[in-house]
Amino acid sequence: MITYFNGNYLEEDLCKISPFDRGFLFSDGVYEVIRYTGKRFIEFDSHLERLKSGLEFMKINYRETEKLIDICNELIKNNNLTESGAILYMQITRGISNPRNHLFPAEANPTIIANVTKFFPQDEKLKRGVKIILQEDIRWSGCNIKTTALIPNILARQKAFEQNAEEAVFIRDDVVTEGTHTSFCGVKNEYLIIPPLSNHILPGITRKVVLNLCDELDIPYVERNINEEELRTFDEFMLLSTKMDVTPVVQIEGIKINDGMPGEITLQIQKAYLDIINS
């Protein structure tokens, strides 16, 4: 596959990252994952705004974000994916710091890398739903920034895999936050309930789209904390993300949700969301 790397379009095995790149040394970078439908990117502007916010928070001096849409379109074209579903990954790090030093380098050019892969929706999981586990949230207090520092997420996701689950959802001080790579919400008494945005929750792009859909579909929703002990009282749950769309949750650890079947409101939102993707 062709990859974009610091101004060039190269075969991916020709991309060489310096061992002194701060992304490699310190996870000193931000990233975005963007869905391409075969016609267009989904919510590209929203992804770009979140990326810009992350760069500003991290104080990474990259001023050419407006060029990124052209880079992304060129990547799709160069990989012959203009009519295919694809996932685009983009990462920007602070650049090279040699010798290694915690302090920002006085002069550094950010490292920019982007690549695309074909995307195949997980239709069976969308139809039948998935199992999740719960995991203590040991992440740092800047989870609203999409940085590449993801070790707690990786460990939790691996644990879910080893327990035949699709996702791990974090619990912090007995309150649900989010999944390792998803937003999490539920339905109770015909209301969609979703944890409010905070420094412990990433402002998910799919989350934003779903809440807009709730307005269009006249599905009432409220943003409030979900306590771990009240999970048993909900009627439905779902995971939201760029790769997972709107995926029903039918089991939390050993507890079946809605008799192990996707809920009606979840499927209603899922259909509306997929209509956007496929339009």
Q: Which amino acid is at 277?
A: I
The reply to whether omega before 99 is within 30° of 0 (cis) is yes
Helix boundaries (H) for 59-150: 68-78, 123-128
Distances (CA, A) of 277 to 31, 43, 113, 169, 243: 22, 10, 25, 25, 11
Secondary structure of residue 215 in the 3-state scheme: helix
Active site residue 52: no
- DSSP 8-class letter at 191: E
Contact call for residues 35 and 27 (beta carbons, < 8 A): no
Q: How many H helices and E strands in the chain?
A: 7, 14
Contact call for residues 39 and 86 (beta carbons, < 8 A): no
Q: Which of 30, 32, 89, 33 has the alpha carbon at shortest distance from 60?
A: 30
Containing H/E element for 168? strand 167-172
**Cα torsion 85, 14, 112, 241: sign:** positive
**Cα torsion 146, 228, 151, 125: sign:** negative
Of 146, 159, 208, 256, the active-site residue reads 146
Catalytic residues: 146
